[in-house]
């Protein structure tokens, strides 16, 4: 994969500026439902086309969609080379974030101790990814995930 294409797919990083003056509207979820007619027409057309998919065999369709994903090889390659526990796209995404951003405090790596809290963590790919990341950085880090 050439470097430009690699950056296009795998090096996307966005930074958002917070605005301390912004306040959510009080009636944000109470306002009447609105629709954009052009999007409603596109939605109907999309649903019509999706209805045609049932004539295809699931294996054929799955093979087709797997070949459309430019990053589809990543999970297979990781499974074969790294053999991580509970490998999913979520595992890969969290591992990528851990590598790019200072999510794990340096003190935790130095002290070899980290307590982490995971809300709504099912099936557990983020916890497994965090454990794998910490072990790859320092194999005797004590992790307690809640």
DSSP letter assigned to residue 142: E
Q: What is the pLDDT of residues 87-130, one digit of tens each?
A: 888 888 889 888 888 888 888 878 877 788 777 777 788 888 98
Domain ranges of the chain: 85-146
Q: What is the pLDDT of residues 33-68, one digit of tens each?
A: 778 999 999 999 999 988 888 888 888 888 887 777
pLDDT value of position 40:
94
Cβ(132)–Cβ(84) below 8 Å: yes
pLDDT value of position 39:
93
In order, the DSSP letters of 48-109 are: HHHHHGGGS-HHHHHHHHHHH-TTHHHHHHHHHHT--TT--HHHHHHHHHHHHS--S-HHHH
Query: pLDDT at residue 146 above 70?
Result: no
> In whole angstroms, what separates CA 18 from the centre of its chain?
22
């Amino acid at each position: 994969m050439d470097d430009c294409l690699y950056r296009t797919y795998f090096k996307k990083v966005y930074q958002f500026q917070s605005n301390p003056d912004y306040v959510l509207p009080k009636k944000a979820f109470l306002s009447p439902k609105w629709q954009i007619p052009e999007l409603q027409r596109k939605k109907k057309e999309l649903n019509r086309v999706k209805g045609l998919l049932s004539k295809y065999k699931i294996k054929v369709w799955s093979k087709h969609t797997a070949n459309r994903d430019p990053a589809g090889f990543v999970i297979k390659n990781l499974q074969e080379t790294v053999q991580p526990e509970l490998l999913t796209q979520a595992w890969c995404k969290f591992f990528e974030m851990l590598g790019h951003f200072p999510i794990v405090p340096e003190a935790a790596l130095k002290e070899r101790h980290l307590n982490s809290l995971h809300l709504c963590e099912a099936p557990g790919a983020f916890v497994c990814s965090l454990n794998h990341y910490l072990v790859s950085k320092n194999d005797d880090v004590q992790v307690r995930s809640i």
